[in-house]
Amino acid sequence: MCGRFTLHSPKDFIAQRFEVDLDGIPELAPRYNIAPTQQALAVLVNTRDAGTAREARTLRWGLIPHWAKDGAKLPLMINARVETLAERPAYRDAFRTHRCLIPADGFYEWRVNDGKNPKTPYFLHLRGGNLFAMAGLWAHWRPMAEGAEPITSCTIVTAPANSALAPIHDRMPVILAPENEAAWLDPELQDPEALRALLTPLGPEHFEKRVVSTLVNSVEHDGPRLIEPAPDPAPSLF
């Protein structure tokens, strides 16, 4: 799965990397602990004017399908399994027509230890610290309550973990190869098999990982110290 991630690269670099204008998102500050229900940067295609221009928006992390009657009664859908995107009612419409890129420069996973030791958080990133795009889906939901504001939300697609991540967790976010990002955003591409072909996780040789402080466990904490190396509380177990 993916339960927390970071986006602390310079704003101008993010804009250049993903070919978007970020001037309309002045609140985009470096973040080291993006958590579910918070706003996350997403890149999608603006089709409102029958165009295909990329657009950057901040979306609530935790998908609410467009057909939901009461979003509060739904589970918090922060991750969508690649194996069932085309079948699950919560995701199949978005998989076909509402896909997005979720920029990041790292993410966290927690290793389960024995009962005497707390879970160990790891920070994972690409070698060289490069920005990457996680495959995402988005939806626009209009609540039935009079006067309630609509919510545009997103989820991150996950796949079975590669061998670098498997000792920590059995799932990982799908990080798109840069050459597949445009196809993932293409509103004309709606064939499930062609879309699934874009979602092959990157191999283990692309990743670096390190144990970090349990400060990341709390959404109240943010800042560069969260990604600094920390001692492993249970090194003898692994």
Confidence class for position 33, pLDDT limits 50, 70, 90: very high
How many distinct structural domains can be found in the chain?
1
Q: Which domain holds residue 203?
A: 4-237
74 has pLDDT over 80: no
Which structure tokens are listed for 121?
């958080």
pLDDT for 26 beyond 70: yes
* Residue 188 to residue 203: CA distance in whole angstroms: 28
φ and ψ at residue 120, rounded to 5 degrees: -100, 120
Catalytic residue among 27, 87, 109, 146: 109
CATH number at residue 144: 3.90.1680.10
Mean pLDDT of 13-39: 93
Taking residues 20-31, report their average pLDDT.
89
pTM of the predicted structure, to 2 decimals: 0.93
Is-catalytic flag, 109? yes
Catalytic residue, from 2, 100, 154, 181: name it.
2
Q: What sections of 44-170 are H helices per DSSP?
A: 92-97
| Buried/exposed 19-51: b ≥16 CB within 10 Å, e otherwise | ebeeeebeebeebbbbbbeebbbbbbbeeeeee
Q: What is the mean pLDDT of residues 132-149?
A: 86
Tell me, yes or no, if 208 is annotated catalytic: no
